[in-house]
Structure formats: C-alpha cells, structure tokens
Amino acid sequence: MEEKTHNSSNVKRKNYLSWDETFMQMCFLIAQRSKDPNSQVGACIVDQNNVIVSLGYNGFPRGCSDDILPWARGEEKKYSETKYAYVVHAEANAIYNSNKNVKGCKLYSYLFPCNECAKTIVQTGIVEVVYAEDFYHDKEEWVASRKILETAGIKCRQYLPQSNLREVLCPNEKQHTNNMPANTQLNNLKEEVKPEEQKRDAMQEVINFQNTSPTPKKPDDELSQFIFENISMD
C-alpha cells in the first residue's frame, strides 16, 4: 500500500516552544533589565490561559535611584550598606507589577523563591511555582520557603530545558552543531534523570549560549519592544 504523504503546509510545526520554555525565556530576558552587577533574576506570572500578566526582575523600589543605593554584597559591611536591605526580588516585583489579580496564576522564576517571596506568593493566591534553579536550597531562608509553600499547598516544580532549544531559537544558525556543547547534555536530560550538578551545568550552558550568541534579529527585537513599551519598570 502506498504510504500517505503529508502536505507540509498542512502539518503542525513540531519544534515550537513549550509554555514552560516560553515563560522561562521571558524570565531570562527580563532579568537582563536588572542593574545588579552580581545577580540578574527574572520572574513571569501567567494566568490560567497561559497569558502573561506580569514580569519582574530584581531591583530597588520605584523612585529609589540605582545610583544612590548600594549594590554591595560584602559580609563585612553593615546591613544598611548592602543591597539586601533594599532590593525587591524578581518574584515580588512580578506580583507588584501585575496587570490584574494574580489569584490562581502560575509564577515562573529563574530561582526558587526565598521565604519573603514565598509569603507574598501565598498571600496573593498564586497556585504554582516553576523554577529553573535551586542554588540556595540549604540556606535557612529557603528551608523556610519550602515549608511555607508546602504547607500552603503551592505546587512547586523544576523546569528542565527543552532539548531542541537551540534549534528553536536559532533555526538558521548553520554552524550550531560545531559549537554546541550543551546540546548533548540537554538531549540527555530528556532521556534520564541527571544528578543536580549536571542539570545545573546544562542550564548554565543555555544561559551562556543566550548571553554570547548573536541575537536572532526579528523575533527578539519585536519581543523586547513589546515588553518595554507595555511594562514600565524603571
């Protein structure tokens, strides 16, 4: 029997971004707005229809100049001389920036939220947290955060990078197989559960790639334009 051939224009495209991938990419993108010299974190809140209702990144409160308050981390400094006294975390900023009530929404964040953000997440009715990294897992604030989120019944899950991310982001990049160390690791991630460290390495590769690769012109430009025209976070 003759095999049925599909008309390519009639078949759904296969390598489109998943929702998780899309919203995590939004987190990575908006994180680049942060003025923090050491840590750029982004968060994205979406409603039940997967419509983005807010974005946030780590920064000082509105009206507080980025040039006046300190960005220092130094343990030897007084608390009021470090950024920790002033910075609003990406997750909290995303909640404050929201265009509508975030009750029932999902929050995507590059990092697992701290205890302060966890309180805000619970109090505003967010029902799910998707995070990429849990770097501070053993710190007291994060131990407390897990307790808060677990007790309040907030679903938390880790995002794993899509295996064909690079192809999706740079479909025309001819040489991508030559300089693509992350690809193998990312493909492997799909097939087996990797130890935490390897997942972290793969994630870092994706971030490095995003930071160093030439930006694909149109889509990103349009996306940035849209974000910065519609969401004011200065």
The answer to whether 111 touches 41, Cβ cutoff 8 Å, is yes
Closest CA to 57 of 20, 29, 82, 37: 29
Pair of tokens at residue 25: 């990419």
Task: Respond yes or no: is residue 91 known to be catalytic.
Answer: yes
Backbone angles phi, psi at 5, to 5 degrees: -100, 140
Cβ at position 79, least distance to Zn ion in Å:
16
33 vs 89, beta carbon nearer Zn ion: 89
Closest contact distance (angstroms) between CB of 41 and Zn ion is 9
- For residue 104, the minimal CB distance to Zn ion (Å) is 21
Instruction: Name residue 88's beta-bridge partners.
Output: 59
The binder of Zn ion chosen from 117, 121, 130, 169 (CB under 5 A): 117
Which of 53, 58, 59, 89 is the binder for Zn ion (CB under 5 A)? 89
Q: Which helix (H) or strand (E) holds 202?
A: helix 196-212
Q: Quick check: 87 binds Zn ion (CB under 5 A)?
A: no
Q: Which strand (E) or helix (H) includes residue 218?
A: helix 217-230
Number of residues that bind Zn ion (CB under 5 A): 3
Q: CB of 92: closest distance to Zn ion in angstroms?
A: 6
Nearest CB to Zn ion, comparing residues 83 and 89: 89
Q: Which is nearer to Zn ion, 115 or 164 (CB)?
A: 115
Q: Does 114 bind Zn ion (CB under 5 A)?
A: yes
Closer to Zn ion by Cβ: residue 92 or 169: 92
Q: Does 166 bind Zn ion (CB under 5 A)?
A: no
Query: Following CA atoms 232, 169, 213, 129 in sequence, which dihedral angle do they give, to the nearest 10 degrees?
Result: 50
Task: Report CA Rg, the chain.
Answer: 19
Provide the 3-class DSSP secondary structure of residue 220: helix
* Residue 199 lies near Zn ion (rule: CB under 5 A): no
Closest CA to 172 of 216, 205, 204, 136: 216
Catalytic residue among 21, 91, 133, 205: 91
Binding of residue 83 to Zn ion (CB under 5 A) = no
Active-site residue list: 91
Could you list the residues that contact Zn ion (CB under 5 A)? 89, 114, 117
